[in-house]
Amino acid sequence: MGQEVKFNVNDGVAVITINNPPVNALNAAVRQGLVTAFDDAEANDDVKAIVMFAEGRTFPAGADITEFGKPTVDPWLPDVCNRVEATCKPVVAAVHGTVLGGGFELALAAHYRIADPMTTFGLPEVTLGILPGAGGTQRVPRICGAEAALDLMIAKAPISAAKAVDLGLIDGVSRAHVRDAALDFAHELIGKPNALRPTRERTEGLSDPVGYARAVAAKRQALAGNPLFAPAKIVDCVEAAMLLPFEGGLAFEQAAFEDCLRSDQSAALRHVFFAERKATKAPEVARAKPRPVEIVGIVGGGTMGSGIAASFLDAGFGVVLVDRDQPMLDTALARIESVFDKAVRKGSITAQMLDERMARLTGDIHYFAVSEADLVIECVIEDMSVKEQVFATLDAVIKPGAILATNTSYLDINTLAAGVAHPENVLGLHFFSPAHVMRLVEVVVGEATEADVVATGFTLAKKLGKIPVRSGVADGFIGNSILAAYRTAADFMLEDGASPYQVDATMRAFGFPMGPYQVLDLAGLDISWARRKRLKSTRDPEMRYIAIGDKMCQKGWLGQKAGRGYYTYADGSRLGVEDPEVLGLIAAERERKGITPRAFGPEEILYRCLSAMVNEGANLVLNKIAQRPSDIDVAMIHGYGFPRWRGGPMKAAELSGLLSLRNQLREFAKEDKFWTPSPLFDEVIKAGHGFDTLNAV
Ligand code: CAA
């Protein structure tokens, strides 16, 4: 037996202990170790009962996800679970931590389960595009019926130990060490008649066939139109648990599991799981210790500043908010309180928690109020001269060693850093709106930024429950650079014959919550107009320039805030209506340039938009603005609404073939230089293994 599973006998009870840090994932060695241990325990006449336990922070948190997509290695997890369940001596699982996926299924194959009270349980496979494939879809409904089983497998939220007891999935919780409690429980079972209780033989959950069928039908109906593949398969499997004998149900589940595992959706979702974790790693994080941060100063209490303040307050920090004058400060403080009010109304925090958060917030109209802050984030308007002024003022009041951060979305942080005494303490922390909700934070590293300042940015993001992505300095960093390329591709099509409404509808059908022109209307067309003006002097004169957005801005059609943009918004409504005058403006622009419009189908619209994103993404990696392609996926999913189940633009491109993309880009490049394929494609295609090597850094 390897080191991953140990076996010892304690007064007639065998304790089988799993030890595979960090989360005791059920890899091939653990699976083999378990089978050997159960064989040994069964053969040993001194053993009358068995306790299954795991060292470290958790009972297995699932199958080993790194093994998915590779050749399978025996024994399979379903066979291990069946082996555990078939043991002729009572088996008690002693569980703690996050008992998830295959780990929960392994526990369900034991005859009894005793849990630490803080344990959480879940079957989150659906988040990886798969289903509980180790008997979970068959065993869970046998205990707690279809409705609760489907909730557990599709709603994704883990449940508490108390709830698991209520559902009958757990036999008890114990405040004592859970292994000792399980040992006591196992000793009591010895010699008792009917001590064996295989879950496959349980029928409580199947006792009301009509209610069961109704719950299955209701879930099937609720999922109608859901683009995900796995949830519907889960419903089929849970239905099979009622209709088929256990072995038949297991075979049905296995086939459905394999269908899911082979799907592009699962490849994409598994990629995102690792990409999110990889994004939190950066060279500076590996080599430097973060600086301590307890008090955070925020300058500018607009939408971004207030959202960022709420986020820090949620995470337990003290916050000092500075705004220009008393009325603006009062508005900002009220805006922050209203974020918490909403949370109280939703039940996510209590009124007492609101008070406690507000007690950690102070407001001032003088910059010296942030003199005790460990970190100050400026969130003033996106204008370099204003930001430079704010940084200069802050430089005079902050304490030694305090970090100066900017929430700029586009501007050069090296320029900002050059104006302060300690440029090594300057970094970008680019939050996304609404900042207390959106999970992405771009940690922008300037030429002079010290490693420990970068490490602090990453640590803070994690403490806020956000996902940090490291970015170098580029206009728009990672996310907005890609957004700009996406919009350019869309604008080209607008001028060539597509309508903004067609583009938006296509991108929504792909899975974005909004199309690019809806987003422009929401953000305000003047923001991208300002960027175009800023970049005018460096614009490549050989590159096609689309002036539609500029013309709309000149007319004052700035988006939702102006009541009209690409759509019109009557009476402050947020649901836009298509505007014939916009189509007229676009038609006039085509005429001015002598362009004969042509038809665009959704496939071409989608292809061009995605190709532009991926090409820009490849250049960002090539130019070392992004660390790895998977960081781009994370940024686009968490900051821009790219559908998670498509894996992000880089993964989606990889799944559909990088060679054909590169070749198509070459064709497009005959129309305009914008489409010139990134040299990164040639590198990756020659190396022959997609983005894997680049993602591994
Ligand atoms: N397989 C392989 N590696 C895993 C893993 C798994 N199931 N779960 C976590 N890890 C790895 C992570 O990649 C990470 O590795 P690095 O340190 O190299 O980045 C490390 O373990 C720690 O994970 P986290 O950073 O996520 O730690 P956390 O404390 O924030 O969260 C957790 C712990 C709640 C267990 C979280 O990791 C998690 O949700 N894991 C996945 C759980 C899951 O989806 N299980 C179902 C698997 S599929 C299955 O079981 C199929 C089946 O039915 C047969």
Question: Given a cut of 80, is residue 176 above it in pLDDT?
Answer: yes
Q: What is the pLDDT of residue 312?
A: 98
Q: 443, 437, 321: which is closest to 376 by C-alpha? A: 321
Residues 322-357, buried b or exposed e (16+ Cβ, 10 A)? bbeeeeebeebbebbbebbeebeeeeebeeeebeeb
Question: Given a cut of 70, is residue 671 above it in pLDDT?
Answer: yes
Q: What is the pLDDT of residue 1?
A: 61
Q: What DSSP letter does each residue of 242-299 carry, written as one string?
A: HHS-HHHHHHHHHHHHHHHHHSHHHHHHHHHHHHHHHHT--HHHHH-PPPP--EEEEE
Q: Where in the chain is the domain with CATH 3.90.226.10?
A: 5-262
Minimum CA distance residue for ligand 1 atom 26: 277
Percent of the chain with pLDDT over 70: 100
Name the pTM for this structure: 0.94
Q: State in Å: Cα 415 to ligand 1 middle.
A: 41
What's the pLDDT tens digit per position in 83-105?
Answer: 999 999 999 999 999 999 999 99
Percent of the chain with pLDDT over 90: 91
Average pLDDT over residues 423-447: 96
Minimum CA distance residue for ligand 1 atom 39: 61
Q: State in Å: Cα 101 to ligand 1 middle.
A: 10
Q: What is the pLDDT of residue 530?
A: 87
Q: Is 129 in the pocket of ligand 1 (CB under 6 A)?
A: no
Question: Which one-letter amino acid corresponds to residue 493?
Answer: M
* Mutation choice for ligand 1 from 18, 24, 64, 65, CB with most ligand atoms inside 8 A: 65
106 beta partners: none
Packing angle, helices 629-640 and 479-496, rounded to 10: 70
User: Are 650 and 633 spatial neighbours (Cβ–Cβ below 8 Å)?
Assistant: yes
Average pLDDT over residues 493-513: 97
Q: Where in the chain is the domain with CATH 3.40.50.720?
A: 283-471
Q: pLDDT grade, residue 75 (50/70/90)?
A: very high
Q: 21, 29, 30, 27: which is closest to 56 by C-alpha? A: 21
Determine the atom of ligand 1 nearest the C-alpha atom of 131: 53
Rounded distance between C-alpha atoms, residue 125 and residue 152, angstroms:
10
Determine the atom of ligand 1 nearest the C-alpha atom of 22: 21
Q: What is the CATH number of domain 479-624+627-696?
A: 1.10.1040.50
Question: Given a cut of 80, is residue 156 above it in pLDDT?
Answer: no
Q: Is 98 in the pocket of ligand 1 (CB under 6 A)?
A: yes
For residue 364, CA distances in Å to 299, 328, 387 come to 10, 10, 19
Q: State in Å: Cα 333 to ligand 1 middle.
A: 39
Q: What is the pLDDT of residue 689?
A: 80
Packing angle, helices 264-279 and 246-262, rounded to 10: 70
Q: pLDDT grade, residue 170 (50/70/90)?
A: very high
Q: What is the CATH number of domain 5-262?
A: 3.90.226.10
Q: What is the pLDDT of residue 692?
A: 82
Question: Given a cut of 70, is residue 432 above it in pLDDT?
Answer: yes
Q: Is 101 in the pocket of ligand 1 (CB under 6 A)?
A: yes
Determine the atom of ligand 1 nearest the C-alpha atom of 273: 13
Question: Given a cut of 80, is residue 294 above it in pLDDT?
Answer: yes
Is 510 in a helix, a strand, or coil? helix
User: Are 531 and 488 spatial neighbours (Cβ–Cβ below 8 Å)?
Assistant: no
Catalytic residue from among 4, 85, 105, 147: 105
Rounded distance between C-alpha atoms, residue 21 and residue 230, angstroms:
29
For this structure, is 204 an active site residue?
A: no
The whole-angstrom distance between residue 511's C-alpha and the CA centroid of its chain comes to 15
Question: Which one-letter amino acid corresponds to residue 79?
Answer: D
* Mutation choice for ligand 1 from 18, 23, 120, CB with most ligand atoms inside 8 A: 23
Q: pLDDT grade, residue 687 (50/70/90)?
A: confident
Minimum CA distance residue for ligand 1 atom 53: 132
Average pLDDT over residues 203-223: 97
Compute the residue count for the chain: 697
Catalytic residue from among 4, 85, 125, 495: 125
Here the tokens at position 467 are 């996902």
CATH H-level, domain 283-471: superfamily: NAD(P)-binding Rossmann-like Domain (3.40.50.720)
Residue 566 DSSP symbol = S
For residue 672, CA distances in Å to 30, 625, 665, 668 come to 55, 24, 10, 7
* Model-level ipTM above the cut of 0.95: yes
Determine the atom of ligand 1 nearest the C-alpha atom of 105: 53
431: left (phi over 0), alpha (psi -120 to 50) or beta: beta
User: Are 445 and 285 spatial neighbours (Cβ–Cβ below 8 Å)?
Assistant: no
10 beta partners: 13
Q: State in Å: Cα 131 to ligand 1 middle.
A: 16
Determine the atom of ligand 1 nearest the C-alpha atom of 128: 44
Q: pLDDT grade, residue 631 (50/70/90)?
A: very high
Ramachandran angles phi, psi of 244, nearest 5°: -115, 155
Question: Given a cut of 80, is residue 543 above it in pLDDT?
Answer: yes
User: Are 379 and 303 spatial neighbours (Cβ–Cβ below 8 Å)?
Assistant: no
Q: Is 124 in the pocket of ligand 1 (CB under 6 A)?
A: yes
Dihedral of the alpha carbons of 409, 438, 66, 105, in degrees to the nearest 10: 180
Q: Is 106 in the pocket of ligand 1 (CB under 6 A)?
A: no
Rounded distance between C-alpha atoms, residue 654 and residue 643, angstroms:
16
What's the pLDDT tens digit per position in 575-610?
Answer: 899 999 999 999 999 999 999 999 999 999 999 999
* Average pLDDT in the chain: 95
Angle among Cα 184, 23, 292 to the nearest 5 degrees reads 115
For residue 558, CA distances in Å to 492, 498, 507 come to 20, 21, 22
Q: State in Å: Cα 354 to ligand 1 middle.
A: 32
Rounded distance between C-alpha atoms, residue 40 and residue 81, angstroms:
16
Residue 325 DSSP symbol = S
Here the tokens at position 578 are 């298509």
Average pLDDT over residues 195-223: 97
Question: Given a cut of 80, is residue 313 above it in pLDDT?
Answer: yes
Rounded distance between C-alpha atoms, residue 16 and residue 41, angstroms:
9
For this structure, is 125 an active site residue?
A: yes
Q: For tokens 């239905």, what's the residue?
A: 239
